[in-house]
Chains A and B, each alone.
Chain A
Amino acid sequence: GAVVSQHPSRVICKSGTSVKIECRSLDFQATTMFWYRQFPKQSLMLMATSNEGSKATYEQGVEKDKFLINHASLTLSTLTVTSAHPEDSSFYICSARDRGTYYNEQFFGPGTRLTVL
């Protein structure tokens, strides 16, 4: 089946630094990628939808200047958390939509655990 990878799987950084998370679709083309945030024992909250070659669409309440998303190719999207603070600590999950499936399945990456000290 389709595979989505994320890198890094875990990152610890100091407050005020920026962190980049990569999301790759390994064996399919993804015109659309999604970035989610998951707090402990809570559901996934959609942060933004990223379409290849265009600006990301952010959900209400998500600061686009803080969470920079770049979707430069059909297999790669990046999320950069700028000037990270402890409250940004969370589990970030990306997914990629395989345009080849008739039910438009989203394939999820394994997630990135961000801890901001």
Chain B
Amino acid sequence: GEDVEQSLFLSVREGDSSVINCTYTDSSSTYLYWYKQEPGAGLQLLTYIFSNMDMKQDQRLTVLLNKKDKHLSLRIADTQTGDSAIYFCAEKSGGGSQGNLIFGKGTKLSVKP
């Protein structure tokens, strides 16, 4: 079945770049997503990438996709304390537009001042 793997923890200093990595298994995924969850809150979509793209940049966020290796990464430039949260990688299972999201376990990002 589909599976999404992420490292569980990442700690960086304020101002450094953070890189969160994710691997997935469903080669038919059309979209891949990064969500942010702050304590006690729901999930906020940060960014997404279509499977035929290699890279997408949105302000401080850069998403890299290696479709051959099924590897997705999220880079946060100039990480701030407000970026401390859990980041979930997700793929849309199956092809087409109606698939469900499969989430990784989440990477807890801690930003030290």
Contacts and interface: CB of A to CB of B under 8 A. Distances in A.
Given A44-B88, A103-B31, A103-B50, A108 B101 contact: no
Contacts of A81: none
B41 A111 contact: yes
Interface residues of A, number: 21
Interface residues of B, number: 20
Interface string A89-110: 0000101000000011111111
B88 A93 contact: no
Nearest to A42: B105
B42 interface: yes
Would you call the interface of chain A mostly helix, strand, loop, or mixed?
A: strand
Nearest to B4: A43
Nearest to B45: A105
Would you call the interface of chain B mostly helix, strand, loop, or mixed?
A: strand
B43 A108 contact: yes
13 contacts: A34-B101, A42-B105, A43-B105, A43-B106, A49-B100, A93-B43, A104-B97, A108-B35, A108-B42, A110-B41, A110-B42, A111-B41, A113-B40
Closest 4 CB pairs of A and B: A108-B42, A108-B43, A110-B42, A43-B105
Interface of B: 31, 35, 40-45, 48, 50, 88, 92, 97-98, 100-101, 103-106
Given A93-B42, A95-B43, A103-B48, 17 more contacts: A6-B42, A42-B105, A42-B106, A43-B103, A43-B104, A44-B43, A46-B100, A103-B50, A104-B97, A104-B98, A105-B48, A107-B45, A108-B35, A109-B42, A111-B40, A111-B41, A113-B40
